[in-house]
Amino acid sequence: MTTLRAPDLTLTSLTVGANLYCNPVAPGDFPDPFVLEHEGVYYAYATNYKGVDLPVRTSTDLVNWEFRGNAMGTLPKWARRGFTWAPDIMKVAGGFMLYYTARHRKSGLQVIGAAFSKSPLGPFEDTCAEPLISQIPLGGAIDAHAFEDADGKRYLYWKNDGNALRQKTWLWVQRLSDNGRQLLGAPKKLLVNDQPWERHLIEAPFVLRRDGKYHLFYSAAHYGDSTYGVGHAIADAPTGPFVKTDGPILRSTRDVAGPGGQGLLTDALGQTWMYYHAWTPGKIGYERKGERSMRIDPLSWEGDRPVVLRPSATPKFSPATSMEFAAD
C-alpha cells in the first residue's frame, strides 16, 4: 500500500466523481459495524437491535445503505437471544464465517461463537455445541476479529471481558485453521488497558497490514459516554509484540461523541477510510434515547502513525467507487 499524506479534502483531492456525503452514513442505531466487500457490494453488519440478532445493510458506494434484515439463523442452544454483539466476517472456501459475541446461558457471561453461511446475507448457522472461545474465569470473551495475512495464515483477535468481573482486560490472538472453524495452538496476550485514557478497558481489535507492519486498532474507555475513543499499536508480526501509539487517534469532539467499534478499508484511489460508530452530543447513551450510528472518515499516515483529523459532522467528498479492502 502506498504511504499517504494527510487527506486534502479540496475539490481536487478526489478525481473520481464529486459526490458529497455527511455522517452518519447509516442513521439509526448500528453499533460495532463490520464492513465486508463481495462482488462489488458492501455488506455492513452490527450488534443486535430491536430483536434483530444480526442486522445487515448493503451499499455500492459506502454512503447509501439499504437495510436487508437479519443475517443470523437460529442461535445455538448455548446462546441466549438479545445479546449478539460485534460481528466480524471472513471469506472462506465455499462461503463466509461469522464470528460473533453472544450471552452464554450457563455462565451468564458474553462469549464468542462461529457460524457459517454460503451467502453474505445469511442465514449464518452455528452448529457447535459450545462457544468457540469462552474464557469464563477471565470474565468471558467478546469482539472477535478475523485477519488473513499475506502468506494465507489466519488469526483471530478478541478481548477477554475482564471488566465484567472488575478485572483488567486483554486483547488476545490465536491462529485459525484455513476453514476458519478451529483455533490452532495456544492463545497469546497482546495488549492490556494500561494508559490513563483507556480507563477500565480496551476492546474491539482490528488489524491492518501495511508496508510489512501490523497495525492493531482498538477502542477503549466507556462506550456509553464521550470518554470512548480509538487507539493504535504497531508490530512487526501479527502476533506482536505490539507497541502502543501515545493517546487516542480518534476521540470525541463538540459534534461527535464516543467514536469506536472501528474498522478500515481502502478506496480505489488508495485512500484509507475508517468506519466506526458514535453518539450525537445531546443524546449520549441509551438512557437518553441516543443511537450509535455508523460513520466513515478518511485516515492518512505520517510514517507508521495513522492520523484521523477528527470525526466529521459536515459534508465531505465520498470514497472513490470500486472500493477494495486495505491490503499490503
Q: Which residues are catalytic?
A: 32, 203
- The C-alpha cell that represents 157 in the structure block: 483477535
Q: Which one-letter amino acid corresponds to residue 175? A: R
In our burial notation (b when 16+ CB lie closer than 10 A, e otherwise), range 28-66 reads bbbbbbbbbeeeeebbbbbbbbeebbbbbbbbebbbebe
Q: What is the largest CA-CA distance in the chain?
A: 57
Q: Is the peptide bond prior to 315 cis by the omega test (within 30 degrees of 0)?
A: no
Residue 44 forms beta bridges with which residues?
A: 35, 57
The residues near 113 (Cβ < 8 Å, ≥ 6 apart) are 76, 78, 79, 99, 100, 101, 102, 126, 128, 131, 132
| Listed residue (213, 214, 191) closest to 204, CA to CA | 191
Angle ∠(278,279,284) on CA atoms, nearest 5:
145
